[in-house]
Structure 1
Amino acid sequence: MEALLEDYISPEDLKNFESNYTESRRNGTLTSQTQFEYAWSLIRSKYRADINRGINLLEELCSSQLGEEKRDYLFYLAIANTKICDYSRALDCVDKFLLAEPNNRQACDLKKIIKDRIKRDGLKGAAIAGGAALVVGGLVGLGMALARK
């Protein structure tokens, strides 16, 4: 599952998917499959703006589909939101997926990864805040010592 979160698309492949999507849209022949392929390529990009565009396309698909297709879109939305560290939205997507298919191994693994990342990022944030407080405290102490002289 980690490999899926660390998978990046080549710029050439992304350009090909974009061309297919743009041409299909211009011709009025856009299918959900073509839109999904482009969205999937976007969320495999290294750039946050591309991932956000992919999320928008997947959300469009998700709102217009039912059943198995919607579950697939929810799964990939969870992956995309995890990649941009929007863990609450990622958990929401994976939970909706698991309502329909509670024993799906990949979704369960993804949920565990999301929760681990929430915990890891929370600890990083606490360490940064603690370090900043220590620095500020040291500067205040130094300022007070210099003021006495």
Structure 2
Amino acid sequence: MEAIVQEVVKPEDLKKFEQRFNEQCLRGQPSATAQFEYAWCLVRSQSPSDLRKGTLLLQELFHKTADETAKRDYLFYLAVGHTRLKEYEKALKYAKAIQQVEPGNHQAREMTAYIEKKMKKEGLIGMAIVGGAAAVAFGALAGLGVALAKK
């Protein structure tokens, strides 16, 4: 799953699909395929604004289609996009939504486990940072107390 989440789009691919999408927008409504391909590129971008734009395009597609297979793909890449944005709660919601409809979906189970692992890892890192900051603050207060006691 790491390879899928960490995959980065080639700039020339992003440009190609963006151009196709924009051309179709100028002529009216873009096709679902053009919108999906562009969104798929955006969620593999390193730019947070591209990631956000990609997730918005995928959400729009999800709400417009009745095709269950397409919905599953949109949900999966919504999970990828939100994972890349470190919006793990949202990512988990999308991965679990796939599992609600397809309990045996191996890819959705792997994505859920991957997101939960990232949440735990970052939660522990966050706790370590808070703990380290608390130790520094306690040390500073103790030092201040000693300095005041000497006066």
With the shorter chain as reference, the TM-score category is: over 0.9
Q: Separation in 1 of the partners of 2:40 and 2:64?
A: 17
Shift of 1:65: 1.1
Query: Matches of 1:74 and 1:11 in 2, distance apart?
Result: 24
1:99–1:59 CA distance, 2 compared to 1 (3 A): same
Q: Which amino acid aligns with 1:33?
A: T
Cα distance between partner residues in 1 of 2:143 and 2:136: 10
Query: Matched residues in 1 for 2:132 and 2:28: separation?
Result: 56
Q: Deviations over 1:98-146 (max 9, x none)?
A: 1111111111101000111111111011101100100000011111122
For 1:29 and 1:127, the matched residues in 2 are separated by: 49
In structure 1, runs of 5+ residues without a counterpart are: none
| Partner residue in 2 for 1:59 | 59
CA deviation after TM superposition for structure 1 residue 29, in Å: 5.3
TM-score by length of 1: 0.96
The one-character-per-residue Cα deviations of 1:70-102 (angstroms, maximum 9, x if unpaired) are 111011101111111111111111111111111
Normalising to structure 2: TM-score of the pair?
0.95
Percent pairwise identity: 40
RMSD after superposition: 1.0
Please give the residue correspondences for 1:1-149 in structure 2 after superposition, counting only pairs within 5 Å: 1-28=1-28, 30-66=30-66, 67-149=68-150
Displacement after TM superposition at 1:148 (Å): 2.5
1: CA distance, partners of 2:29 / 2:53: 20
How many residue pairs match? The answer is 149
Q: Where has structure 1 moved over 6 Å in runs of 4 or more?
A: none
For residues 113 and 29 of structure 1, the distance between their equivalents in structure 2, rounded to whole angstroms, comes to: 35
